[in-house]
């Protein structure tokens, strides 16, 4: 695997994952690290380029995060985005101030000169071009540092982009990584390929073979326990490990009672003794155990951590039954790590297999073969491993399951409600897609709110729950748009849920994008 690398140094920006994902779309490997990553480690990684992310602070604040000044002496090209752009200006002798007018959202940006990043976007030499880009800032660069030339501006932002090619420093006040920036990908690609000289040869094709080889060497003759949920990530991890160590692997599927309707049986049909894979498979029915642990708990992070710890405890118990298990395998992927706030990023939500892990885990080591991959990359690996498309392209399902699709306290009654509502929702969406009434969303599910409202059924007053319906379109699950479901389809779904699911009197449709919302409710 070609490992030319771009490092993204995170200063607390909400789009840190997205920057890395866009760089990988240039077929160049990319990792996200906190801005505090030691200089020695950066040198050891030998990146071809460095990108500074945005962030919520003011660069001139007393406690604002700063880049190590020695970074600027490494001779490695640096691109600063938003806060990262202001940081370059601030640390290299420019001037950053509170902007007289803040800019948020889509903004027209005029190019002053082509520069290394804008290339043909400016048209003929001497002619200015313009584009629509995504802005999100209160401060701005009032004066570029000495040696920099201004390459773009807006009516209220005198330095929307700047560069110093002699030193390899580039900056954009706007966010080229966000899809709302019309030419953003071309700009990032110019930095990765033209400025940093990356050849774009990093591909997923060799990932599986190299990972299988590395896992086989690590495990040796040891025994491995795989935490199998039946979702895309854990399924790919299970097959990957099966090919690496064969019968040394035991897959434990914990039915925590928070799965979609009939999903436990479906998982067993695929990975159990009658399925297509030669796996040691154990199903643990622990529904009541999890319900008991979650009784009275409403706060989302506590629910995630309780579920995460209980998962591990069940795995530990099963490992003792098997005897001398050395390794635990999880289907952790890169967004799990970043969103869980490890390595300095802000905590968005603790994933049960990362930030939700307890302090003590009774295994020699945890193996996470997919931890540096994004969801679409995991799917590519799955296809490469020969996993059927219907498994590889199934909708993502969170490890905590319905525990985070039920707002507030979780109990068996609420689980039953959301399972039934979700089954109807998915059935009707699938039917509408097959009948050509709509384009299939990338993910869709029903969640149970903690709101109850008055209704009327058969001349009787009811006081039941409201179900929230969610459907999104996305390519990478880091950003997402609410899917446009035809009104007739939504109306029919609502009628069925209210009529057929006991305890529901109302249906709501969630139109919120990601960001600012996450795809899941909690």
| Catalytic entry in 175, 256, 351, 352 | 175
| Catalytic annotation present for 82 | yes
Q: Highest mean pLDDT: which of 61-65, 386-390, 421-425?
A: 421-425
In the chain, ranges of CATH 3.40.50.620 domains: 207-392
Q: Which of 103-107, 165-169, 301-305 has the lowest mean pLDDT?
A: 103-107
Tokens standing for residue 520 = 């899941």
Give me the pLDDT at residue 503, please.
95
Mean pLDDT in residue range 317-324: 83
Assess if CATH 3.40.50.11260 describes domain 406-510: no
| Catalytic entry in 26, 30, 82, 164 | 82
Using the predicted structure, report yes or no on whether residue 392 has a pLDDT greater than 80. Answer: yes
Question: Strand pairing partners for 471?
Answer: 444
Give me the pLDDT at residue 188, please.
95
Give me the pLDDT at residue 341, please.
53
Comparing 307 with 355, which gets the higher pLDDT? 307
What's the rounded Cα separation, in Å, for the pair 208 and 386?
A: 11
| Catalytic annotation present for 175 | yes
| Domain covering 5-195 in this structure, CATH number | 3.40.50.880
Rounded to the nearest 5 degrees, what angle is found at the Cα of 302, between the Cα atoms of 297 and 305?
130
Give me the pLDDT at residue 404, please.
93
pLDDT tens per residue, range 493-506 = 999 999 999 999 99
Confidence band, pLDDT 50/70/90 cuts, at residue 128: low
| Catalytic annotation present for 413 | no
pLDDT tens per residue, range 170-215 = 999 999 998 788 888 999 999 999 999 999 888 776 788 888 998 9
| Catalytic entry in 177, 377, 420, 520 | 177
Listed in order, strand segments (DSSP E) in 43-193 are: 49-52, 78-81, 95-111, 130-143, 149-154, 157-164, 169-172
In the chain, ranges of CATH 3.30.300.10 domains: 406-510
Please state whether beta strands 5-10 and 504-510 pair in parallel, antiparallel, or not at all (unpaired).
Answer: unpaired
pLDDT tens per residue, range 261-304 = 998 998 888 888 888 887 899 999 999 999 999 999 999 999 99
Quote the pTM value.
0.64
Mean pLDDT in residue range 88-114: 88
What rounded mean pLDDT belongs to the chain?
87
Using the predicted structure, report yes or no on whether residue 361 has a pLDDT greater than 60. Answer: no
- Quote the DSSP letter at residue 145: P
Q: Report the CATH fold assignment for 207-392.
A: Rossmann fold (3.40.50)
Confidence band, pLDDT 50/70/90 cuts, at residue 164: very high
Distances (CA, A) of 385 to 208, 242, 372, 493, 511: 7, 11, 18, 37, 36
Which residues, 6+ apart, have CB-to-CB distance to 235 below 8 Å? 228, 270, 271, 331, 382, 387, 391
Please compute, for residue 436, the number of CA atoms within 13 A of its CA located in the half-sphere on the CB side: 0
In the chain, ranges of CATH 3.40.50.880 domains: 5-195
What's the rounded Cα separation, in Å, for the pair 204 and 516?
A: 30
Give me the pLDDT at residue 92, please.
96
């Amino acid at each position: 695997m070609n490992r030319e690398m771009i490092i993204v140094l995170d200063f607390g920006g909400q789009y840190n994952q997205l920057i890395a994902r866009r760089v990988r779309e240039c077929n160049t490997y990319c990792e996200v690290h906190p801005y505090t990553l030691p200089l020695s480690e950066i040198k050891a990684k030998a990146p071809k380029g460095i990108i500074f992310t945005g962030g919520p602070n003011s660069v001139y604040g007393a406690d604002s995060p700063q880049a190590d000044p020695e970074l600027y002496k490494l001779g490695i090209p640096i691109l600063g985005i938003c806060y990262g752009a202001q940081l370059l200006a601030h640390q290299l002798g420019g001037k950053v101030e509170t902007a007289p007018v803040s800019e948020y959202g889509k903004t027209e940006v005029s190019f002053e000169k082509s520069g290394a990043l804008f290339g043909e976007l400016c048209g003929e030499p001497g002619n200015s071009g313009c584009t629509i880009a995504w802005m999100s800032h209160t401060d701005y660069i009032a004066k570029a540092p000495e040696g920099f030339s201004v390459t773009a501006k807006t009516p209220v932002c005198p330095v929307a982009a700047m560069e110093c090619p002699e030193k390899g420093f580039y900056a954009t006040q706007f966010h080229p990584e966000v899809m709302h920036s019309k030419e953003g990908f071309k700009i990032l690609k110019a930095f990765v390929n033209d400025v940093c000289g990356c050849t774009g040869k990093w591909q997923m094709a060799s990932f599986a073979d190299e990972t299988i080889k590395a896992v086989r060497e690590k495990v040796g003759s040891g025994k491995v326990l795989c935490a199998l949920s039946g979702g895309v990530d854990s399924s790919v991890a299970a097959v990957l490990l099966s090919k690496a160590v064969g019968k040394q692997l035991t897959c434990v599927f914990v039915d925590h009672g928070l799965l979609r309707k009939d999903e436990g049986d479906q998982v067993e049909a695929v990975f159990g003794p009658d399925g297509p894979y030669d796996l040691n498979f154990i199903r643990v029915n622990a529904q009541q155990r999890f319900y008991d642990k979650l009784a009275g708990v409403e706060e989302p992070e506590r629910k995630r951590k309780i579920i995460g710890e209980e998962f591990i405890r069940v795995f530990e118990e099963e490992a003792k039954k098997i005897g001398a298990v050395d390794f635990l395998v999880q289907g952790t992927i890169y967004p799990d790590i970043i969103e869980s706030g490890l390595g300095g990023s802000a905590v968005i939500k603790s994933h049960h297999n990362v930030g939700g892990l307890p302090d003590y885990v009774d295994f020699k080591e945890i193996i996470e073969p997919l931890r540096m991959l994004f969801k679409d990359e995991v799917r590519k690996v799955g296809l490469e491993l020969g996993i059927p498309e219907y498994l590889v392209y199934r909708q993502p399902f969170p490890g905590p399951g319905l525990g985070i699709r039920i707002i507030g306290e979780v109990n068996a009654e609420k689980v039953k409600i959301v399972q039934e509502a979700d089954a109807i929702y998915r059935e009707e969406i699938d039917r509408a897609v097959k009948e050509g009434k709509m384009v299939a969303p990338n993910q869709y599910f029903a969640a149970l709110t903690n709101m109850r409202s008055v209704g009327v059924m058969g001349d009787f007053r009811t006081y039941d729950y409201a179900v929230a319906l969610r459907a999104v379109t996305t390519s990478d699950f880091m950003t997402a748009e609410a899917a446009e479901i035809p009104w007739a389809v939504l109306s029919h779904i609502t009628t069925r849920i209210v009529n057929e699911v006991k305890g529901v009197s109302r249906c709501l449709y969630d139109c919120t994008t990601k960001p600012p919302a996450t795809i899941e409710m909690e």
